[in-house]
Every structure is written in structure tokens, then in C-alpha cells.
Amino acid sequence: MTNINNSAAVQATVKPQLRSFDIKKIRGDFPILSTKINGKPLIYLDNGATGQKPGYVINAISQYYKKTNSNVHRGAHYLSDKATQEFEQSRTTIQKFINAEHREEILWTRGTTESINLVAQSWGQRNIGPGDEIILSTLAHHSNIVPWQLLSEQTGSTIKVIKIKNNGELDIEQYKNLLSNKTKLVAIGHISNALGIINPIKEMIELAHKVHAKVLIDGAQAVSHIQVDVQDLDCDFYAFSGHKMFAPMGIGVLYGKKNLLEKMPPWQGGGEMIEKVTFEKTTFNQLPYKFEAGTPNVSGAIGIAAAVNYLNSFDRKMLGDYESYLLDYTTTSLEKISGLKVIGRDCHKVSVISFNIEGCHAQDLGMMLDQQGIAVRTGHHCAMPLMQALNIDGTVRASLCFYNTTKEIDQLCKAIKVALTMLL
């Protein structure tokens, strides 16, 4: 049994089920965590930007290229058939992971951003027009803002924005007042990438459906932290990326309700997404292929399925409990540093801590921490409207994962104090 804590005093505060959490074994699953930066052990606290990859995922991708590499569908040979089977099995794995009703509701994309753009330019162009309204959130990532601004310019529709309360949470009462018979779409994040706040999306989806609006959820920050059930949520679209949940970059997922996807026109044209092509007319493939133009990212699909299998090998509640413990430990430890303020302190959130230190620029602190082997992210975190609402330029963000430890947090706090002696 490996003790997850670095002091007897701290262990006394830990839930009993976490005392058997084998953090040493888990960290051994991730080869990059043995890296040294400037001669110091890597402390990776930038999981909100991208998660590291376990050997299980790396090996799955490597084995595909070593033993199966071939293009999928229509190939009249063994490798193509085997690659197709693995590729389509990956789709089924994702279907079960988010509890979609139908496997054809799972579309492969390059990531959350492309998924949102697909909905905007396919469903949006067909269903939104002059005078219609799109509701967005102050907590949104730019990827869930800019595609809708482009659509608004193209269609003459109007964008409305849900404001935040003083603690950073969305103002649900104001959201209720924004909803009307003009609302055609609500596009909100499941979890804020900048602050880690979990939005009450199930309630928000129910409210939107009462005015017959559709709802798209940006789940990029959610799938690695919490279990997602799209049928229980009853969302119309759900988008997420592989690389934030321990899978490779360049692969993403768009879930859409089957009845909506069937009515939507293709977004991109090319191979795979066609049924028949003549110079007079083209007819399009069935779901999900009509939205997957060109050679697909086969290794990415295999990689994201491997990441799901890796996550499913754990008790997800146990992982969540451990991350909650890390969040509390980190918040308490950081707040002992003079002048440090955690943004979004008293909210329902996942293990993301954004903070500023009085008199210290976030970028300067980030660079000083890097010299000590600690990876954090600084700046506006692709959430400039949120930073404007908070009246700050940006933050230092430490985003935690179940492979992080309290010892690393102690090192972070020590490194911050060292940096401040030179910066203040």
C-alpha cells in the first residue's frame, strides 16, 4: 500500500478509501512524469491545457502503426479490415463512455473546437436566422464564443450572454430572464477551463428546452474529471477533445441526437462522406459518415478508446474523491502565502486553482516556476471576456490530475515563495 500523503497530520484528514490509493503505481503509468526540467523533477500542473498520456495509450497507438496501419473502410485486404474493426469499435467505446443511445450519434472530429464549428455551420446555418438569439456564457472558452459570433454575422442573429455572480458562478436567475421564444440555441461549458467551476448544466438544459431551444455543451474540461451521461443530461450536442483526457492530440468527439444529425447537412465535402458522386449531383453517406470527410484519424480514434479503457480501469468516484482532496489541500496551502488570492474560491468545482499574487505579474511567476521544474499556465486561458468581467488581466492556473501529489503541491508553494523573493 502506498501512502498518498506526506505527513501523518494530513493523513488523518483523508477519507479512509483514499488511503489505499496507489499513487506510486499510477504515476508509473505515465512515462513523462519521470522527466527532469532544469535538473529538477517535473511537476506537471497544466492538465487543463492537456493531460499526459499513460503507457497504455502510447502502446495502443504504437501497436496500430506497427501491426495494423491501413486506411479504413472499402479496403479489400486484411489490414484494412482489421483497422476498420478497431476504428469502429472505438466509436462504440465512446458511445458507452458517455451513454449515447446510438453509436451513429458519435462523430469523429479534430477536437472540441471543430465539433462546435461543425454544429454552428451545419445545424446553425439551417436553423438560425435574423432576429433569433443565441445564449452564451461569460465563463466560456473562446472556442465556444467565436464560432457563434461568426454564425451571428452570417445569419443576422443576436448573441446574449449569461453574467457571473461575484464568486464567479453563473447567474442562473439572469439566465432564466434571457430565455425566450427567440432563443434558438444555448451553448455553455460543462466546466470552466479558467476557474474549474462546474456549471449546473442539467438544470440549464431543462430550462432551455422549455422554450424549445437546443443546447450544446462544451465538455472539454469535464470528461477527464467526472462521468458524463448525455441521455441523463438530455443535451442536444456534447463536444470534447481526446488530448485533455489522456488521449492523443488531433482527435475529438461530437455527440448529437440522432434526429438532429439526420436533418443536418454535411459541413465538409470529400471522400468517405459520400454515397454517390456524379458531376450533376452528389448524394451523401448515412450517419455518422456524412460528417467525416476525408481520411480519418484512425490512430487517434484508437488512442481515445484506449484512454477511455484506462479511465474505466479505475473506480471513477475514487479518482474524483482524490482530486477533491488535492483541490482542498492545494487551496489551503496556497492561501497561506501572503498576498495570494484564489479566484473562484467558494464554488462547486473540479481540481483547478486560478490565483494571483498582489504585486506579481502572472507571467513572471510562471517563468520562475518553470526554472524550478514546475509547469503551470498563465494568462487569460482563452477566456478573455471572463477576465474582463473579473477586472483582471489573467491568472496563474494550477490544474490538477489524479497523478499529482501533495508533495508536489508542497514543492509548488515552496517554489512560489522562492520566486517572490526575487520578484517583489
Within 339-394, strands assigned E span 340-343, 352-357, 374-375, 377-379
Instruction: List CB contacts of 8: < 8 A, sequence separation 6 or more.
Output: none
List Cα–Cα distances, 358 to 228, 340, 342, 420, in angstroms: 38, 6, 11, 10
The reply to whether 235 belongs to the active site is no
Cis geometry, peptide bond prior to residue 288 (ω within 30 degrees of 0)? yes
- Taking alpha carbons only, the member of 408, 359, 352, 401 closest to residue 381 is 352
Tally of CA atoms within 13 A in the half-sphere of 303 that contains its CB: 28
Burial 115-138 (b: 16+ CB within 10 A, else e): bbbbbbbbbbeeebeeebbbbbbb
Other C-beta atoms lying within 10 Å of the C-beta of residue 32? 11
SS3 state at 135: strand
**Angle, helices 298-312/55-63, rounded to nearest 10 degrees:** 150
Of the candidates 253, 208, 198, 265, the one whose C-alpha atom is nearest the C-alpha of residue 235 is 208
Among 235, 360, 382, 401, the one annotated catalytic:
382
Catalytic residues: 382
